[in-house]
Amino acid sequence: MVLTALFSLIVWELIDVQILNPTAFAAFGESQRVRTESLSADRGTIYDRNGIELAVSTPQKSIFTDPLLVEDVAAESAYLAPILGVPAADLAAKLGADNRFTYLARQV
């Protein structure tokens, strides 16, 4: 009797999943494996009628840090300021922030 009850319960679940309510489980499965992601494309080179480049895209890098890992804010901002071309006071404010991520310089 117990085996028959368990088998009936399994059959009922199969009927529910496959016949009575398949769209809910299909939508749930699709939401776990399908996502939309926007990819930013690089701009293409612009040429004149003679094939000479008029405008060229140049990839740029950004420099960031975790301010909570910085031990000596004054020394590190004084060291990085001439390298990044940013005033030491601005870097000290960014390195002394109370968060886990901050940009020091963008598009360098």
**Coil vs helix vs strand at 12:** helix
Quote the crossing angle between the two packed helices 88-95 and 73-84, to the nearest 10°: 130
C-alpha span between 57 and 7 (Å, rounded): 65
Cα–Cα nearest to 45, from 35, 58, 33, 32: 58
Task: Specify the pTM.
Answer: 0.47
DSSP-assigned letter for residue 16: I
Other C-beta atoms closer than 10 Å to the C-beta of 101 total: 10
CA gap 35, 16 in Å, rounded = 27
pLDDT at residue 28 in the model:
86
DSSP 69: G
**Percentage, residues of the chain above pLDDT 70:** 100
CA distance 91 to 62: 14
Predicted confidence at residue 87, as pLDDT, reads: 92
Q: What is the pLDDT along the chain (108 residues), one digit of tens a residue?
A: 999 999 999 999 999 888 888 888 888 888 888 888 887 777 788 999 999 999 888 778 889 999 999 999 999 999 999 999 889 999 999 999 999 999 998 888
List residues bridging with 46 in a β-sheet.
55
pLDDT in tens, 32-57: 888 888 877 777 889 999 999 998 88
